[in-house]
Structure 1
């Protein structure tokens, strides 16, 4: 396992298990941040998040010099927000690609596993933060209603946690 205790990694996995898409934010030599939606393929037992990508995508050329990334996952209907910071690598790993392959990926890579531009991004999770009001939806609604009546800022509107891996 990676830098997180198993219960911390399980908390991250459980919260984003049903959230298929994440916004991957990267930076370039000029320090410009850019984001794009990516389909999460897996969070493995080591705390690595895996995505398929094309090695022709311009942002992938910035990863060796600027591996620090952020991936955010949101499910507005369930009041869930997750922000993950980590270190990304662009990989050509046939075995891992075979493990993660599914028919939907072929829409992006017509050559299948033999597509010359098929690559993987592995994001090693270094820290994570989440806000989850789903488990306490009624308490969340009550806090918002109370704030509207009293004019005070709502408090205790869900679960919030910061998770940092070991140094």
Structure 2
């Protein structure tokens, strides 16, 4: 089940890469960020941001995710770090990112953060026919009839 739910997570994140991200232990509200995915990297994703963004300092962080169809949810723990590999920046750069940075890839405020993934809790909301019937009629749901839950190491 863990491999299946992890694959579903990556597929859902690829389809809708928006997450709410914040530094662990900070009382600041979480910030919506658009994850940049690399099909060859299953233990990290990246965010383009500005050097004056409150996430710029990096450190232990949490990200919350809800899929486009609201059938998968995840809370992800990891560490934000400045990405220093220019090849990664070049690979992830696109016109949607360029629109935010007047100086392009050389903009002095441009910062690429890597979110190194530690672990996550993932929930699916997929009740199936039996679960839908119980929800519609008010019958008591049993654990597992609404979806799956797993704690995974990413």
TM-score tier by shorter-chain length is 0.7 to 0.9
Which of structure 1's runs of 4+ aligned residues deviate more than 6 A?
5-8
Q: Distance in 1 between matches of 2:9 and 2:67?
A: 14
Long gaps (5+) in structure 2: none
Partners of 1:39 and 1:51 within 8 A in 2: yes
Q: Distance in 2 between matches of 1:33 and 1:139?
A: 41
More helix by share: 1
Q: 1:157 aligns with which of 132, 138, 146?
A: 146
Partners of 1:133 and 1:157 within 8 A in 2: yes
Counterpart residue number, 1:54: 50
Partners of 1:132 and 1:160 within 8 A in 2: yes
Q: TM-score, normalised by structure 1?
A: 0.76
Partners of 2:46 and 2:115 within 8 A in 1: yes
Long gaps (5+) in structure 1: none
Q: Distance in 2 between matches of 1:50 and 1:111?
A: 20
Q: TM-score, normalised by structure 2?
A: 0.81
Partners of 1:27 and 1:34 within 8 A in 2: no
